[in-house]
A = this chain, B = another copy of it.
């Protein structure tokens, strides 16, 4: 029987989270995949799988690839800079001037090649990205992602008011450019797809929001935006949209809140009604704890969202957040939930390590379909972790080893990455 690339077996110490409550652990076992999808996990290989390609990662940990539900590609050069400001002045002072540069596609190329290599390095196998307002740089970002083999939803940013002239779009052009990108890229790749990306309500006219909702519906495209990140932002939205019950209703009114698959970044200050609407409409929250620390935004009550059944994942929000590694974001999610626990007089329980891991894999992965887990039928996106530098004193349980990797490991511990059962090599552009 001929060995086929699409029949692959990864052998090693397998860890994932079918549910958030605990890790599912298979010591020294085999994940069998066909056509990029998991067939099953076995302690012994049945005869019928003997001729599959077997990659032996014995003593290494195999986990699902990391999912980043919220990051801004053009802000890569600003990582770690200017975090002495809150959201709105930070946008004006650091972010918008940086994003302007992407009118130059050569600048875009310089940054985006580095960004994608960095995402590969830290084990982010799929992400939901904001580009800038620029059509050509956004197309370039699509092309580079497609070339890399990583998975992404990429959204050309739309914003047509209340911003500096140099970054404010003409409404018609914003829509036309967006539709051009959508048509060009919607069927170009299985792994890299367009998403509708109004920046956030205060910088979009009603006409723009309405048209974007129409495009989302017309092409059945997902939507990404920002919601309730900062107290100043809330007041601004209230002032601009006085007739709406709340911030979420603005997006909801224009078909940008779960009418198609939707993910909203931050969600720190949502009202109970908004959280219920998210649960009802199946709108994802992308929790970005490092960003929320870095920009003095506040602490999202993650437990409340989990309890109410809002679909949830994690995001770096690079460069509002300085980190690009989802393992770092998992730790920050745990830490911030502990501070929220104290703040709520121990009412909202902190999230556990398995919950944080779930959010950064299967929780966010579900935005992409059956992604982020090793259950049967899931796409085999995996990271191979060599933790020998971490578990270096006495033997540890596999649960302890995964804890150590999440808390104190880094990209040096990630030795291979797989997406849909295929190894992804370091991107060369």
Contact = CB atoms under 8 A, between A and B. Distances in A.
Interface of A: 76-77, 79-81, 83-84, 110-111, 114, 290, 293-294, 296, 298-299, 322-324, 331, 334-336, 338-339, 341-343, 350, 352-353, 390, 392-394, 400, 403-404, 406-408, 410
A303 B406 CA distance: 31
24 contacts: A77-B393, A79-B407, A79-B408, A80-B403, A80-B404, A80-B406, A80-B407, A80-B408, A81-B403, A81-B404, A83-B334, A83-B353, A83-B403, A84-B353, A293-B336, A293-B338, A294-B335, A296-B350, A298-B342, A299-B339, A322-B331, A322-B408, A323-B408, A324-B408
How many copies, total? Answer: 2
| Dominant SS among interface residues on chain A | helix
Most buried by B among A80, A84, A298, A406: A80
Contacts of A84: 350, 352-353
Nearest to A392: B114
A373 to B, nearest CB: 22
A299 B343 CA distance: 10
B80 A114 contact: no
A350 B295 CA distance: 11
Nearest to A396: B81
Contact of A339 (B114, B339, B350, B394): B339
A335 B392 CA distance: 31
A333 to B, nearest CB: 11
A294 B403 CA distance: 13
A211 to B, nearest CB: 34
Contacts of A338: 293-294, 296
Contacts of A76: 393
Given A393-B77, A403-B81, A339 B293 contact: yes
Contacts of A77: 393-394
A81 to B, nearest CB: 6
Nearest to A407: B80
Contacts of A298: 339, 342
A343 B407 CA distance: 26
A76 B404 CA distance: 12
Contact of A111 (B110, B324, B339, B393): B393
Contacts of A407: 79-81, 83, 322
B335 A114 contact: no
Nearest to A298: B342
A342 B290 CA distance: 15
